[in-house]
Amino acid sequence: MDAPRPRPDNLAMRHRCSTLLLAACVAPAALAQAGAATSQARDTAAVFIAQSNYLVARLGAECLTLVGRAESPQALAANWRQRNARYVNASSKYLDRRLEEAEAEGGSLRREAMLGEIRSAVQNSGESSLRTLLQGRKDEACMRAITLLDTGTLDIGSNLPQIAQLDALVLWAEK
């Protein structure tokens, strides 16, 4: 029996759930250090937010010209970051703290190794997300993806199953 065809209106949610699972598996390995400010939940949340930011930037680079938009990919990503500033800032603060801890424990080589692991996790997950969103005819897929972005569907909000984890990261960062 064939599975039902995915609905475009829930594509982002299905994708974000799989991204969370990927981040839950990758982030603990990439961010395996222990520290007072660190936790697996924060690692996962921070990587998810960074991956979302990466995805938006890549969507801009791949799709804006195709859908006839004059804005730059940088402007598109900056607008998304502004709408999601609490989460983006919390992720940045947390990942900066993780890198500081890595350097304190193992010097600049450990810091650079951890930065590479984080970058790889974010980029691999982001590229996977991009491929999922851009399935099918590229012009149509880009229009759908940019519409999801324009309508706020790709914003971080209460529609995400992991919102409690993301909000907890924000609360940690605002202390």
pLDDT in tens, 140-153: 999 999 999 999 99
pLDDT surpassing 70 at residue 24: no
Give residue for tokens 């730059």: 72
Task: Decide if 102 is inside a domain.
Answer: yes
Enumerate the H helices of the chain as residue ranges: 11-30, 40-63, 73-83, 85-133, 138-150, 163-173
Domain count within the chain? 1
Work out the mean pLDDT of the chain and round it to a whole number.
84
Binned at pLDDT 50, 70 and 90, residue 165 comes out as very high
**Interhelix angle for 40-63 vs 163-173, to 10°?**
100
Q: Is residue 143 part of a domain?
A: yes
5 occurs within a structural domain: no
1 falls within a domain: no
Q: What is the pLDDT of residue 39?
A: 86
Interval 64-98: pLDDT, tens: 999 999 999 999 999 999 999 999 999 999 999 99
Are residues 83 and 59 in contact, defined by beta-carbon separation less than 8 angstroms?
no
Per the domain annotation, does 167 fall within a domain? yes
Q: Is 62 contained in some domain?
A: yes
CB 130 within 8 A of CB 52: no
Which letter does DSSP use for residue 155 in this model?
S
pLDDT in tens, 129-139: 999 999 999 99
Q: For residue 66, which of 142, 4, 8, 173 has the smallest C-alpha distance?
A: 142
pLDDT, position 36:
55
Q: Which domain holds residue 31?
A: 10-173
Helices 85-133 and 11-30 sit at what angle, rounded to 10 degrees? 110
2 is a domain residue = no
pTM: 0.79
In angstroms, the first-to-last Cα distance of the chain is 52
Calpha distance 80→163 (Å, rounded): 17
